Structures are given as structure tokens and as C-alpha cells.
Amino acid sequence: MIRALLLVLAGLTGVAAAGPLFQVTDPGSLGGGYSRAYAVNNQGEVAGESETAEGWVHAFLWREGEGIRDLGTLGGSVSRALDINHNGMVIGEAEDADGRMMAFRWSAGEGMTALPLLAGAIAGRAGAVNDEGVIVGAMDTADGTVPVFWQDGEVHRLHMLPVSGHVQLHDINDEGDIVGQVEAGPLESFISYAFYYRRAVEAPSLTTFRFISSETPSAAQSVNADGMAAGFTTSGGRAHAFLYDRRHAAEGLVDIDTLTNFYSAALGVNRQGWVVGECIIHEAEDAHAFFFNGTRLLLLDDLVDGGEAWDFVRAHGINDKGWIVGQGLQGEDERAFVLRPSGNPEAPGLPGIVPMIAMGDDGLRLTAEVVDGEPPQRLTWEVDGAVAGTAWEPPFHLTIPEPAVGSCIQAVGYWWSGQRIRSARTRWAGREGEE
């Protein structure tokens, strides 16, 4: 006899059985076996880094039809392209002839040029650029690493931040809003807080600065043109991806991890509020790249046509057309990827899996309902990432020995098309909830 229904998950997450949402392109490399893509603009131009045939890491620019282009260095051996705006300006860091890492700007007309340093600074790094050409980054000085921005060819230190430690500026939008993290405490055990600084470049005071998470560690990694920021915050000892909208600041952060992963962090957000990043489903597993379509968090491994040869590890950027860039594994090789939508990512007609868990006399009884779609060919039940068993017909019943308290249970549906659906993870709380 089943004595108690302990949990039914109403949150639906999954992948449409009707077909994949993205097509994958490998932009190639600069001659070596390794590459990463960090940013993509609305023209489909991709910026990143790649190993060369000589074994160095160089910044690259990729365009469809033109292939991958080595952007060179500032006279040294190493460079990385970390962002690109919609006008085709690329920024990042590169080694000069003296071995210093310097912030750079690259354009088709001027090539790679070093950005100026503050007086007394010894190195610099550019991390993000908006469409106005304002660049944010960091600089190493005698006082430590300081936040800076470059505007109209001049460098400025970003003042007026309430900081007891290092400040990292992660992104800037066209209105000059800057997001990042403020760190406090000693280097070996610092904590960080996500912040949003409205029109920081021109702000005369701190009235537009706000911490957007009271939890630590947290960080705001990306901001779109309309003031939506994405990043991660920590609750209950676990980091989860969030979305924040300055226009509705009173609503606070929205946890977008509908899969309730062990860990997730958002790294990019576009104007539609679609988010990309990385997650770890279960403790001690490898990372997976994810896509949040405004409603559900989805694993890219489950969404890509021709993705069988890939393990998508991290998604760094997404443009307003839904193109996604990042890095994944092809066998043992780490390679950059470019994903382009083959359908409507916002409304792909996703079915969902609702797992139901109850304690019976013979063990833990698992059943699942599939809503808004056809049932899968089979459904596999996992406990802490390990397969506990497979059911082949609705309601996909499986009885298993009672797992340890705190174990995570997840249902994974498999369709004939090769697509998968994952339910949210359910943490087994033990028998105390029985009636």
C-alpha cells in the first residue's frame, strides 16, 4: 500500500520531441587543437581565443563564409578576444613585446591597438564593450587591481564604489550601466556580492549603485540593453543562476534554474531575456552548457541537431537573434561552438515530465506524467546521477530501494527522435513527510 505522496513537481522542464532547436557550427581553430568562443554580435561575428600551430593562444574573429581570423598580438605571444560589439569592435587582452598583458581594441580599419594605462599601472585587461565604444576592464597598479573604463581613447578609474576589496566589472550596456561583483575579505577566502551600477560612467554619486544580492558569493555577469542582468547567487550553500530586471527592482532576483541543479551560473543575456551559462546537475559531475528561454532552463546537449559528437560545456554569449557561442568537447579536444536557432527557442512547444514519488511497503515508488506532448519511448530514473532503472510505458512506474536522505532523484525521457527531456531534480527528504 502507498502511504504518502511526498512530492509532485509542478515546474516543467524539457526538450521538444518534435525536433532540435539549434544547428551547430565548429568555427575551427588557428592551427592548434583548442579554441573557445566568448562573444557574438548581432551580425553573427564571433570573438574568442584559439591555440595556434606553434602552441600559443591568440585572439580570433570568426565570420560565416570567411572563417576564422588570427587577430595577432601586441608584439608578444598571447592574446584573447573577450567581447565584440555590434559595430565589430573587438576587445580583450594581449601580451606586448615587453611581456606585459595589455588591454587592446581591434577594428577592421586599425587592427589591434593597446589601450592606454593609468599613470603607474603595469598591466591592463579589457573585459566588455558597448555599442558606443565604451570599454570596461581592470588595471594592475601599485595599489592593486583597480576597475577602469576607456572612453574616447582615454582611460578613467571608476571611482565611488563601496569596496573593501577587489572590484570586477563584467559587462556594460549602451546606457552605461555596469554590472559585476565587489569582493571583500582576504584573497584566499574572499566573498563577493553582485552589483548593478546605473549609468556608472557618468554617475556623479552612488545614488544609482545597488547591491542586487545579499547572498554571497554572488556576481552579475552580463547586462542587456534594457537593464536585465544575469549572474549567479548562493542560497543554501548552492549557487544558482539568476535574472534581474532593474525596471522591476523591487521584485529582486529570479532564480531561473528550473532544473534545480547542484550548481548553475548565468554568463550571458540577450534583449529577449534569454540566458546562457553553465551548470552541474549532480555533485562531482562535469559541467553542461545551458539555455534559458524565458520559461525553462534547458541543457544544450539536448537541443542541438548534430550535437551527438559534442559535449557542450559552457555557453558564454548569446545575441539578440538567439545565436549562442561557447566551448565544448569533441572527444578530448576543447573546441569553440556556434549555435544558430532552427526554430523558435522561446516557444518550442515543450512537453514536460512531472515526477511523483511515494513511499510504499516494498520501497520507493516512482511514477511520472508527461504533459503537453507525446510520451517518450522510455523513461530512465536516476538517483544522484546514477541510473536506477528504466520504465517503458506510462505511467513509467519503477520501485527502488529507499535512497539515503538528501539523494536527488530525476526522470529523463528519451524519444525516438533522439531528443531528451529532464525533469527537475527532487531531493528525497525521508519518511518524515508521510501521513
Supply the DSSP string of 108-157, one letter for each residue: TTTEEEEPPPPTT--EEEEEEE-TT--EEEEEEETTEEEEEEEETTEEEE
Choose between 207 and 94: higher pLDDT: 94
Q: What is the mean pLDDT of the chain?
A: 87
Distance from C-alpha of 398 to C-alpha of 406, rounded to nearest angstrom: 19
| DSSP code of residue 204 | S
The residues, any chain, with a CB within 8 Å of residue 156's CB and separated by 6 or more, are: 148, 149, 150
Residue 352's pLDDT is what?
74
Please name which of 249, 295, 243, 284 lies closest in space to residue 267, comparing C-alpha atoms.
243
Q: How confident is the model at residue 9 (pLDDT cuts 50, 70, 90)?
A: very low
Q: How confident is the model at residue 374 (pLDDT cuts 50, 70, 90)?
A: confident
- At the second CATH level, the architecture of 22-341 is 7 Propeller (2.130)
Residue 298's pLDDT is what?
87
Mean pLDDT of 48-68: 96
Q: ∠ CA(371), CA(291), CA(63), 5° rounding?
A: 135
pLDDT at 28 > cutoff 90: yes
Distance from C-alpha of 128 to C-alpha of 231, rounded to nearest angstrom: 15
Q: How confident is the model at residue 3 (pLDDT cuts 50, 70, 90)?
A: very low
Edge-to-edge order in the sheet of strand 135-141 = 123-129, 135-141, 144-151, 154-157
The residues, any chain, with a CB within 8 Å of residue 348's CB and separated by 6 or more, are: 16, 18, 21, 293
Q: Note whether 93 and 116 are within 8 A (CB).
A: no
3-state secondary structure of 52: strand
- CATH 2.60.40.10 in the chain is located at 2-13+350-433
Residue 20's pLDDT is what?
55
Residue 78's pLDDT is what?
98
Distance from C-alpha of 93 to C-alpha of 137, rounded to nearest angstrom: 10
Residue 250: how many other CB atoms lie within 10 Å: 4
Residue 266: how many other CB atoms lie within 10 Å: 30
Copy the grid coordinates of residue 219. 556576481
Residue 214: how many other CB atoms lie within 10 Å: 11
Distance from C-alpha of 313 to C-alpha of 301, rounded to nearest angstrom: 9
- CATH 2.130.10.150 in the chain is located at 22-341
Edge-to-edge order in the sheet of strand 254-255 = 219-223, 228-235, 238-245, 254-255
Mean pLDDT of 390-413: 89
Mean pLDDT of 191-203: 90
The residues, any chain, with a CB within 8 Å of residue 379's CB and separated by 6 or more, are: 353, 368, 390, 391, 392, 396, 411, 412, 413, 414
- At the second CATH level, the architecture of 2-13+350-433 is Sandwich (2.60)
Whole-angstrom Cα Rg for the chain: 23
Residue 186's pLDDT is what?
61
Q: Note whether 358 and 321 are within 8 A (CB).
A: no
pLDDT at 15 > cutoff 50: no
Distance from C-alpha of 246 to C-alpha of 429, rounded to nearest angstrom: 36
Instruction: Give percent above pLDDT 70 in the chain.
Output: 88
Copy the grid coordinates of residue 173. 550596456
- Please name the amino acid found at residue 18: A
Distance from C-alpha of 14 to C-alpha of 160, rounded to nearest angstrom: 44
Residue 27's pLDDT is what?
96
The residues, any chain, with a CB within 8 Å of residue 371's CB and separated by 6 or more, are: 12, 351, 352, 354
* CA count, 13 A, side-chain hemisphere, 39: 25
Lowest mean pLDDT among 31-35, 298-302, 403-407, 416-420: 416-420
Largest CA distance in the chain: 77
Lowest mean pLDDT among 67-81, 318-332, 397-411: 397-411
Tallying the residues shown for the chain, one arrives at 435
Residue 302's pLDDT is what?
84
Mean pLDDT of 397-403: 91
- Please name the amino acid found at residue 265: A
Residue whose cell numbers read 528519451: 414
Distance from C-alpha of 275 to C-alpha of 291, rounded to nearest angstrom: 6
Distance from C-alpha of 417 to C-alpha of 63, rounded to nearest angstrom: 31
Copy the grid coordinates of residue 284. 562531482
Distance from C-alpha of 316 to C-alpha of 278, rounded to nearest angstrom: 8
pLDDT at 12 > cutoff 60: no
Residue 343's pLDDT is what?
64
End-to-end alpha carbon distance in the chain: 13
Residue 188's pLDDT is what?
65
CA distances from 411 to 14, 59, 278 (A): 11, 41, 20
Tell me the per-residue pLDDT of 265-311, one tens digit each, with 9 for 90 and over. 999 999 999 999 999 988 878 899 999 988 888 899 888 876 678 99
Choose between 157 and 73: higher pLDDT: 73
- Please name the amino acid found at residue 354: V
Judged on CB neighbours under 10 Å (0-12, 13-18, 19+), 207 is: exposed
Residue 270's pLDDT is what?
96
